[in-house]
Amino acid sequence: MKKVLALVLAAVMLFGLAACTAKPADPAASDPTATEATKAPAKDNFTIGICQFIPHPALDQATKGFKEAVTKELGADKVTFNEQNAAGEASNCSTIVNGLVSSKVDLIMANATPAVAAAYNATEVIPILGTSVTEYGAALGIKDFTGTVGANISGTSDLANLDKQAQMILDWVPTAKKVALLYCSGEANSQFQVDKVAEYLKGKNIETKMFGFADTSDMMAVTTSACDYADVIYVPTDNVVANNATAIDSIARAAKKPIIAGESGICSGCGIATLSIDYYDLGYATGMMAVKILRDGADITKMPIEYAPKETALYNEEICKALGITPLEGYEKLEVAE
């Protein structure tokens, strides 16, 4: 009897030891989204989550271009879009992307920096494609960014040539001695842009001063201060500026201070000129990246950030007339929605 009991106890101990040393279950076995981000889902139908930070013509065009590229390449009957807008609230971006992760979408398209940052923090598995982001290193806090994130995220940048934009200030207002750099201090990409523009202007012996506002609550007061200081104002590609361009224009136009803008949407509201990308083209390029991931199995960790295929020099006829400024040759008239 003792021998039998000893054998039973030995078997129990052996089983317990095996259970303690066994590898944890692979989460991918029970969770279809917990697969390596480098592998495309083995399926023909896809659900793509879209988080757009704010309603704005430029961002709207990027989303439109993305969806049209994806449906053209994969087929409208093969793709379902779960599209949501954060209404300009960063906290809403987190809520939206966490919901998309919970619903196990195949890919997330994050439109604008706050949406990309939220998605980046929400999942290490689901592929994320950003768009309308100026500089991914600044947006994601990556030092010495080389152009490839190296994680489950890639996308497209709306960065235009900042040296050319800075030179536009001097071309359009050659008598300028002081330039105000007006931007939302809460946007890392905006800080990146104004720093680059200030560096260029310093090399031309032009005085500059940063006018960063925290949010819309102090934007008008800071804009007024910028007008009091400067001969001309530069505003970068900036989500808060984009959403309040007409308010900024009401102050700058009354003060007779011209604004050079970072992109066409902002220029249509408050600028005299811009060197801008086409956001539809940017979104379309992002959509083609999604196709490579979902259909062709591309490894997103090795996909470098892509840029808009072209830049266009534009001027705002109405504001130029209001300020008595003659448009320069080589600039196209900006079509401003009524």
pLDDT at 30 over 50: no
Q: Which comes out higher in pLDDT, residue 190 or 38?
A: 190
pLDDT in tens, 288-317: 999 999 999 999 999 999 998 889 999 999
The arithmetic mean of pLDDT across residues 200-227, rounded, is 96
- Distance in angstroms (rounded) separating the CA atoms of residues 322 and 89: 34
Rounded-to-integer distance, Cα 291 and Cα 258, Å: 42
56: pLDDT strictly greater than 50? yes
Examine the pLDDT at 190 and tell me if it is beyond 90: yes
DSSP 35: S
Find out whether 282 and 66 touch, Cβ atoms under 8 Å. Answer: no
Q: Is 300 helix (H, G, I), strand (E, B) or coil?
A: helix
- Of 130, 110, 135, 123, the C-alpha closest to 53 is 110
Q: Select the more confidently predicted residue: 172 or 139.
A: 172
β-pairing verdict for 311-315 and 332-333 = parallel
Residue type, 321: K
**pLDDT > 90 fraction of the chain, expressed in percent and rounded:** 78
Global pTM reads 0.78
The domains found in the chain, sorted by start residue, are 46-159+279-310 (3.40.50.2300), 162-276+312-333 (3.40.50.2300)
Compute the distance between CA of residue 27 and CA of residue 32 in angstroms, rounded to an integer. 8
* Range list of β-strands (E), the chain: 46-52, 79-85, 107-111, 128-133, 153-157, 178-184, 207-213, 232-235, 259-261, 273-277, 306-307, 311-315, 332-333
Q: What does the buried/exposed string (b/e) look like for 53-72 if buried means 16 or more CB atoms within 10 Å of the residue's CB? A: bbebebbbbbbebbbebbee
